[in-house]
Amino acid sequence: MKPLASLVFAGLLLSAPLQAAELSVAVAANFTAPMQKIAAAFEQETGHKLALSFGSTGKFYAQIRNGAPFEVLFAADDETPARLEREGDGVKGTRFTYAIGKLVLWSKQPGLVDDKGEVLRSGSFERIALADPKLAPYGAAAMQTLNKLGLAEALSSKFVQGENIGQTYQFVATQNAPLGFVALSQVFADGRLTAGSAWLVPETLHEPIRQDALILARGKDNPAAPALMRYLQGDAAKAVIRSYGYGF
């Protein structure tokens, strides 16, 4: 963590009363499973309660700007929290990277996706799912990947867009689309692929998916906010995050 952020966290913690509080948290859809585990452990350890909402980072940005009562944001990128901080909707010095996301091309069907992603060039599928690149950073990474491979135009007629990465995953999990670009965390747990077949997209094919968290202006005086941010940087939370395939 940056020295300034450390000082801000320390100040918030020292000024916070030692009492349980409820915290409204907006969480990027790709981080649903790890956040649910982390929240349960955090609540048990601290007594604080978390009200979690999952969705697309782009939609959360619009909602926060329009007065939605979120107190902490866990985004799927680093640009949105930085922008909110600049615009006065975030507490300066509280932003940090909690995970580096990874993109995969995934199918529920074993053997459909090869380990080099050559299935994309074959075009032997009717639909391919990806999140809306205007709203979801994982969707933007998927489009960057296809553009770098020179396949975006050829495959555009097969696109099925999800509002967020959670909906995109559902398209592929229900086989409404035979394959699609999803977050590794959605199909990976405890060191293994949970089902189907997948290609881990090389990070050279898209910009880093650096996921930042930020205490929002509405959460400035809530003692649960700095407590949660500190917990996310501890060993227990990092072990959970790592188990879903994220980097740091």
pLDDT value of position 19: 78
**Distances 26 to 29, 51, 123, 190, 216 between C-alpha atoms, Å:** 9, 9, 37, 25, 10
pLDDT of res. 3: 52
93 has a pLDDT exceeding 80:
yes
Quick one: pLDDT at residue 125? 97
Cα three-residue angle 167-168-171, rounded to 5 degrees: 90
* Average pLDDT for 108-122: 97
- Give the pLDDT score at 2: 52
Determine the pLDDT at residue 75: 98
The pLDDT > 70 percentage for the chain reads 93
* pLDDT 10s digits, 215-239: 999 999 999 999 999 999 999 999 9
Angle at CA of residue 136, ends 131 and 139, nearest 5°:
45
Q: Give yes or no for a contact between 155 and 128, defined as CB atoms under 8 angstroms apart.
A: yes
Rg of the Cα atoms in the chain: 19
Angle between helices 224-232 and 32-46 (to 10 degrees): 120
Least confident interval from 1-10, 69-78, 93-102, 190-199: 1-10
The pLDDT, as a whole number, for residue 16 is: 45
Q: What structural domains does the chain harbor?
A: 3-100+210-243 (3.40.190.10), 103-200 (3.40.190.10)
- Which pLDDT does position 226 carry in this prediction? 98
Q: Please give the average per-residue pLDDT across 110-114, as a whole number.
A: 97
Angle at which helix 32-46 crosses helix 235-243, to 10 degrees, equals: 160
pLDDT 10s digits, 13-63: 444 445 789 999 999 999 999 999 999 999 999 999 999 999 999 999 999
Task: Note whether 199 and 145 are within 8 A (CB).
Answer: no
What was the pLDDT predicted at 156?
97
Pairing relation of β-strands 49-55 and 22-28? Answer: parallel
What is the residue-averaged pLDDT of the chain? 93
| More confidently predicted of 133 and 4 | 133
- How far is the C-alpha of 179 from the C-alpha of 181, rounded, in Å? 7
CB 190, CB 37: distance < 8 Å: no
pTM of the complete model: 0.88
Answer with the residue of higher pLDDT: 12 or 85: 85
| Mean pLDDT confidence for 135-150 | 96
pLDDT band at 191 (very low <50, low <70, confident <90, very high): confident
Average pLDDT rounded to a whole number, residues 73-84: 98
Angle 75-81-85 (CA atoms, 0-180°, nearest 5)? Answer: 155
DSSP reduced 3-state for 148: helix
